[in-house]
C-alpha cells in the first residue's frame, strides 16, 4: 500500500500489516528503526525508540462516550452499532443540500492513505494510517455558499445500542465544528478506514473527521450531519467546560490544560518503561500556522 504522508512521517512509523497482532515482531522491529523512522521531529525524540501503533492498539484504546467512559468500553460495546446502510445529511448554506447514502457521498472522490499523528487532549498520542477523502472535496461538491463561515458536524445517536447514551454520560448528540478555512485545508480528512481496512465501529465507523493538528475530541466520529453555517456552531466539550476545551483546541505545548501540562505526551504502545516525548506545536503540522496569523493562540485554546 502506498501511503501518502506529511512532514517526517513515513510508513516506517506504523506497523506493517503483516505484523498487526504479533507483538514479538513489533518489538524486534523497533530495535532496528533509525532516526528517520521515528515519530518525533526533535533531536530529543530521535534518541527514543518509539514503538509504532498496531491495529489492535488503535482499536482497543478509544474515547467514544456514546459507548462508555472507559478506554475499553467502545471496543466492548460498539460492535452492536449498525453502520450499513448509513446516511449523511448535508445542509445549511450549500447549493446542493440533501441526505445521501455513504456511497453517494463518496462517489467519484479519491480515497487517499494518510499517516497522521493523533494527539489526545489527555496527553497521550498515537500514529495512525488512515484511509479517506479530503473534506474539501465533499464540501466543494455540496456547493458552499458565500456566506458560510463554519462547518458543523453531528454524531449518530442510537440509545438502543449505545450504553453511554442510555446513561446520559454527557449531552447527546455529540457535536463539533470547524472554521471553513480549517475544514477546506488539504490535511482535513473524512476517514473511512485504517490500515486499508474498513473503519471499526469504536474508531468512528463508517465515516469520521480527522483534523491532525487539533486535539482528538475535535475529530468527531460516526457522522450523520454536516451543516454549513454563518455563525460559530456549538461543540460538545466546549459547551461542557469552555475554560478547559476551547473551540479551536489546536495542539499547543506552551498552553497547559487547566489540570495538566500539554508540553509532553505519552505514546500509546511505547511500553512500560518508555519515556514521554515532547509535544509539537500544531502536533507537527506547521503548514496550518498561517490559518491563525494574528490570533492569540493561548487565548484561543
Domain assignment present for 298? no
Res. 22 pLDDT band, cuts 50 70 90: very low
228 in helix, strand or coil? strand
Domain assignment present for 33? yes
The angle at the Cα of 134, spanning 104 to 109, to the nearest 5 degrees, equals: 40
Domain assignment present for 138? yes
Domain assignment present for 137? yes
Lowest-pLDDT choice from 40-49, 195-204, 271-280: 40-49
**CA torsion through residues 156, 158, 164, 168, sign:** positive
Domain assignment present for 149? yes
> Residue 152 sits in a domain of what CATH number?
3.90.420.10
For the residues of 169-182, what is the DSSP string, one character each?
Answer: SS-SS-EEEEEHHH
Kindly report, residue by residue over 108-130, the tens digit of the pLDDT: 999 999 999 999 999 999 999 99
Question: Over 60: is that where the pLDDT of 272 sits?
Answer: no
Grid coordinates given for 293? 496569523
Domain assignment present for 236? yes
Grid coordinates given for 127? 500514529
**Residues 143, 97: Cα–Cα separation, whole Å:** 9
Beta partners for residue 152, in sequence order: 177, 227
pLDDT of residue 31: 30
Domain limits at 281?
Answer: 4-292
What rounded mean pLDDT belongs to the chain?
86
**Residues 24, 134: Cα–Cα separation, whole Å:** 35
**Residues 229, 183: Cα–Cα separation, whole Å:** 12
Grid coordinates given for 113? 492513505
Res. 301 pLDDT band, cuts 50 70 90: confident
229 in helix, strand or coil? strand
Domain assignment present for 299? no
**Residues 97, 120: Cα–Cα separation, whole Å:** 33
Q: Give the count of domains, the chain.
A: 1
Strand ranges across the sheet with 223-229: 98-101, 87-92, 223-229, 150-155, 175-179
Helix (H) or strand (E) holding 166: helix 163-166
**Residues 73, 202: Cα–Cα separation, whole Å:** 9
Q: Which residues contact 42 (CB under 8 A, 6 or more apart)?
A: 278, 280
Res. 299 pLDDT band, cuts 50 70 90: confident
Domain assignment present for 300? no
Res. 179 pLDDT band, cuts 50 70 90: very high
Secondary structure tally for the chain: helices H, strands E: 8, 13
pLDDT of residue 271: 62
Amino acid at each position: 500500500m502506498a501511503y501518502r504522508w506529511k512532514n517526517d512521517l513515513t510508513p516506517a512509523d506504523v506497523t506493517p500489516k503483516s505484523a498487526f497482532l504479533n507483538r514479538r515482531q513489533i518489538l524486534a522491529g523497533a530495535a532496528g528503526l533509525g532516526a528517520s523512522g521515528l515519530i518525533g521531529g526533535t533531536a530529543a525524540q530521535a534518541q527514543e525508540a518509539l514503538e509504532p501503533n498496531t491495529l489492535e492498539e488503535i482499536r482497543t484504546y478509544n474515547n467514544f462516550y456514546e459507548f462508555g467512559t472507559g478506554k475499553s468500553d467502545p471496543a466492548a460495546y460498539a460492535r452492536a452499532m449498525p453502520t450499513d446502510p448509513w446516511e449523511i445529511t448535508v445542509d445549511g448554506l450549500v447549493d446542493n443540500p440533501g441526505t445521501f447514502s455513504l456511497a453517494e457521498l463518496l462517489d467519484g472522490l479519491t480515497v487517499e492513505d494518510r499517516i497522521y499523528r493523533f494527539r489526545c487532549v489527555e496527553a497521550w498520542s498515537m500514529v495512525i494510517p488512515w484511509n479517506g477523502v479530503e473534506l474539501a472535496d465533499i464540501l466543494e461538491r455540496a456547493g458552499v455558499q458565500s456566506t458560510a463561515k463554519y462547518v458543523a458536524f453531528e454524531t449518530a445517536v442510537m440509545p438502543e445500542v449505545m450504553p453511554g447514551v442510555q446513561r446520559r454520560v454527557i449531552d447527546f448528540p455529540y457535536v463539533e465544528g470547524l472554521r471553513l478555512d480549517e475544514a477546506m485545508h488539504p490535511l482535513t480528512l473524512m476517514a473511512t478506514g485504517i490500515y486499508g481496512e474498513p473503519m471499526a465501529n469504536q474508531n468512528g465507523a463508517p465515516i469520521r473527521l480527522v483534523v491532525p493538528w487539533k486535539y482528538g475530541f475535535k475529530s468527531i466520529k460516526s457522522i450523520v450531519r454536516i451543516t454549513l453555517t454563518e455563525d460559530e456552531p456549538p461543540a460538545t466539550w466546549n459547551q461542557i467546560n469552555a475554560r478547559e476545551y476551547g473551540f479551536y483546541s489546536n495542539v499547543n505545548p506552551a498552553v497547559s490544560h487547566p489540570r495538566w501540562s500539554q508540553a509532553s505526551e505519552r505514546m500509546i504502545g511505547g511500553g512500560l518503561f518508555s519515556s514521554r516525548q515532547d509535544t509539537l506545536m500544531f502536533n507537527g503540522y506547521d503548514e496550518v500556522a498561517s490559518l491563525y496569523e494574528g490570533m492569540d493562540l493561548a487565548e484561543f485554546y
